[in-house]
Amino acid sequence: MTQTDTPMNEEGVPEDFSPATWRGGFGNQVGPIYQRFSDDGTWARGFLVGERHTNGFQNCHGGMLMAFADMAFGSVVTYEKHRFWVTVRLVTDFVSSAALGEFVQGNASVTGEDGDFITVRGHIWTGGNDPAGPDGRTLMTGTGLFKMLGERPGESPLLAARG
């Protein structure tokens, strides 16, 4: 059980993002992973592509994008439902690559729910908060099926940000 030791953003991370904290070592190993909860009600997770994320082409490794997809797509359960979850199935389509130094964002929306099972549609992009903006470039699209577990303690940071 470790948490991020440095609450500072790396250089190149947008100001509206802050580091997410993690139970378990993997989030820190591939992180820092950041999150934002914006005034318009949207949210995203993000990371800055560093040397430690690269493949042999000096782009972000596809494995890192997949690991991030799991975190970013599943976050909709964390934030919107305020529950723990496990991944059942992920489908990830690689559209474009992210270069070293680019800041990558990802989020998801709920598409269906049945008991403890929840399906989501996810999106990973770079070039600002609006993936449809002039600099936006989609890196990955996909879907996820998650099984929801028990309630999280405290209040969802997204619900708190929305007031």
Q: Tell me the C-alpha distance between 148 and 132, whole Å.
A: 30
Short-list 101, 41, 116, 33, CA closest to 71: 33
Backbone angles phi, psi at 113, to 5 degrees: -155, 135
Binding residue (CB under 8 A) for a second copy from 18, 28, 138, 156: 28
Binding residue (CB under 8 A) for a second copy from 54, 111, 119, 129: 54
Binding residue (CB under 8 A) for a second copy from 12, 25, 101, 112: 25
Q: Tell me the C-alpha distance between 107 and 129, whole Å.
A: 11
Q: Find the shortest distance in angstroms from Cβ 57 to a second copy.
A: 7
| Of residues 12 and 133, the one with the C-beta less far from a second copy | 12
Binding residue (CB under 8 A) for a second copy from 8, 26, 135, 151: 26
- Is 64 strand, coil or helix? helix
Q: Which distant-in-sequence residues (6+ apart) come within 8 Å of 56 by Cβ?
A: none
Q: Which two tokens stand for residue 100?
A: 């070293």
- Is 120 strand, coil or helix? strand
* 86 lines the binding site for a second copy (CB under 8 A): yes
Restricted to residues 93-122, the positions that interact with a second copy (CB under 8 A) are 93-94, 97
| Of residues 16 and 111, the one with the C-beta less far from a second copy | 111
Residues lying near a second copy in the complex (CB under 8 A) are found at: 1-2, 22-30, 50-58, 60-64, 66-71, 74, 84, 86-94, 97
